[in-house]
Amino acid sequence: MTVELTPMRWWHVSWAAELDRQCFGATAWTPAGFVSELARPSRRYRVALLAGEPVGYAGLAVWTDDTGGSPPEADLQTLAVDPPQRGHGIGTLLLEDAIAACRDAAVGAIHLEVRTEAPARRLYEVHGFRPVRQRRNYYAPGEHAVVMVLPLSAHVATS
């Protein structure tokens, strides 16, 4: 199975919004939400293509500190794979690509929020993310989020 990653473009948006709806229901992003994300220079969205067809996406936001006092920080905004294509390593590929991009950008830490019960938690833990706090009722009443952080070595002083 050959999967290639490509920047998300406007022609992926309706597909991405439909997958988001399947994955996240009421909290999903609309097509307009995706378009607005893609227009922001701080964003980095990638689509996984299998035989040329989109099967997953990951979205990253990278925040620079304009005072220059701190390394950039990143939020993993979203990650999803088409249900029939799950379990074949596509989510891992997208996540590892996002982590590599953060290392290249000398990001100090990657943050994300995930539903407390989501299977995706395991994927993040395997890649070194650690839970740092819970946000109760974050998604909806009774649907809590856990905030996870992956510190990257780039923020360690090298001198």
Ligand X SMILES: CC(C)(COP(=O)(O)OP(=O)(O)OC[C@H]1O[C@@H](n2cnc3c(N)ncnc32)[C@H](O)[C@@H]1OP(=O)(O)O)[C@@H](O)C(=O)NCCC(=O)NCCS
Among 6, 36, 42, 92, interactor with ligand X by CB under 6 A: 92
x-marked contacts with ligand X along 123-142 as a string, rule CB under 6 A: x--x----------------
Pair 64, 72: CB distance under 8 Å: yes
Among 43, 88, 127, 155, interactor with ligand X by CB under 6 A: 88
Amino acid residing at 14: S
Residue 57 or 108 having the CB closest to ligand X: 57
Pair 64, 106: CB distance under 8 Å: no
89 binds ligand X (CB under 6 A): yes
The footprint of ligand X on this chain (CB under 6 A) covers a number of residues equal to: 19
Helix 31-38 vs helix 13-24: angle between axes, to the nearest 10 degrees?
A: 120
Least separation in angstroms between CB 149 and ligand X: 13
90 binds ligand X (CB under 6 A): yes
Q: Are strands 109-115 and 143-151 parallel, antiparallel or unpaired?
A: antiparallel
CA–CA distances in Å: residue 129 to residues 69, 112, 113, 132, 144: 24, 9, 11, 9, 18
Binding segment (CB under 6 A) for ligand X, from list 61-69, 80-88, 98-106, 128-136: 80-88
87 binds ligand X (CB under 6 A): yes
Alpha carbon distance 98, 79 (integer Å) = 10
Least separation in angstroms between CB 118 and ligand X: 5
Pair 56, 80: CB distance under 8 Å: yes
Residues that bind ligand X (CB under 6 A): 23, 79-81, 86-92, 112, 114, 118-120, 122-123, 126
